[in-house]
Structure 1
Amino acid sequence: MLATPAMAQDHSAHDHSAHQPAPAPTPMDHTQHTMPMVDKSAPGAAPESAVPARALEGPLHAADAIWGADAMAPSREENRRMHGEMTTGMVLVERLEARIPAEGGEDGWLWDAQAWYGGDIDKFVLKTEGEGEIGGSVEDAEVQALWSHAIGPFFDLQAGARLDIEPETRSHLALGIQGLAPYMFHVDAAAFLSDRGDLTARFKGEYDQKITQSLILQPRVELEASAQDIPERGIGAGLTKIEPGLRLRYEIVREFAPYVGVEYEAKLGETADITRAAGEDPTGWKFLLGVRAWF
């Protein structure tokens, strides 16, 4: 069929604009959706600790609104028991070492250990330490039985009894703190009141500096003091002794680490005078060879 002029005219009259591709959409401006910055220092601004009133609406536990308080109570109690009241125990042999004087004299040995059992808040702690001559008798030995109560995230208050076994039997009341000071310093400080009225104190501080994951350098210092003279122990009033030292240990496994080290021991004040009067040197260096272990 041939197209007539009228048909051609009608065809040309069609509006082809409807068949043109749609224009690309204009990108959305997302800048309007950003959270406004609030200047907390502006006058009248709510503090960071402010809690919206709606946060305190509804049940104390959201799950109660779905399952009911009676159904959720046993689950919460089990969760608290498993994660908040776990009892744990540990035995730590902090120092078990041979001590060799740098300037001659008798070689000695020393132990310093503690064990505990309990929860995060309260636990029973047993401490013991002492020293003697290699191949000879024990010269000093003591045991402490303590109740330890958490007084913060990093410190425990400890109270109990201390019993000296050598050089003579003597009992003490003990009160102290133990924990982790800022910058990861381990601190153990205590005061002791003996059954004879003698008041003494002891401070221990140490820091573990990791050289590698297994090699650890530990600076350590121990101080002792007495409120009065204790002639039978060769102790004078004031600061009586200081022992700074360095130990370098290698953790074969986390639970077992042999070490070498050096320590300087100095008796101070009146205690040093008593030591000199007895014909002994109140100061001296010692080389150390020992092991640290826990389980």
Structure 2
Amino acid sequence: MIVRQALVFLSDQTAGFLGNRLVRAYYHVWLASLVVFGPLLQFYVNPRVIFANRRNYFHVRLVDSAWSWTVLLAGGYLLLLAYLSSGSLLTTLRHLSRLAVGTGVRVLCSRTFSWIEDVTGCCFQPTPEGLLLLESLGDRASCVGQGHLWLGYQVSGEAFLLTYASLVLAEELSAFQPYLRRRLPAGAPLRLVYLLAAAFLLLWNALLLVSVVFFHRYSQKMAAAGFAQLCWHLTYRRWYLCRWSPSRPAHDLFPRGPPRRDPAGRRCVCGAATAGGDVTWESVTETLLSRE
């Protein structure tokens, strides 16, 4: 009983925070500030701490597989949330397709970063005196194949992955607040998966800070964060608002609520819109309000 009460309390408080309008509006600014100002912490931390080593446990086990963890947890959460609220398999698959789009974005950006490194790099041969430029080897494959070193501009894949995964998780988890406000079924499995996903969101933020403090050059981290923010903006803030898209989180999930009155005393029909009515969008519950 105590465990269930704790689970309900933690999930409710987390949903209230992640569903807050200010958090949803400015979370990307918070991530940008981590990347912009985080490197300043390198002057105040011990460079010998365990997190400064690329072979530390969190970096080896979690950073490289951050997107897999994100898809696993967000997928489980979306599967339960979408099906319990809509009861439709097609609607559930439509919302899950956002994760497929995110996977495609991740793969496309990874190949773009590799291409940038190819076109901006040169082949070098390590020598006791330093690096010797090998102009005869002009492509990366032949350079690396002969045991030499290819050096080009590397966009930080870690900063991109952690920033993009954090943005996607924050967007998806924000739908739990209006779900709870509708008093839809919220059993222990859904709440537990939600809290696990929220815990990994916090972990991605922490690992992003560690990455920008200890690894890569400043411009490489800035470029990676810029790519991540652009991909998130073009999908969640642009494309997903269109009719022919996987749709934004919480869209078309919740049943129409009972008629209620707005502060002006007029009758509001939730989720419906008449042809000549005064239609407004209520951002808290993700609902269209039509005043008759």
Give the TM interval when normalised to the shorter protein.
under 0.3
Higher radius of gyration, 1 or 2: 1
Q: How high is the TM-score relative to the length of structure 2? A: 0.21
What is the TM-score of this pair, normalised by structure 1?
Answer: 0.21
Q: Which has the higher helix share?
A: 2
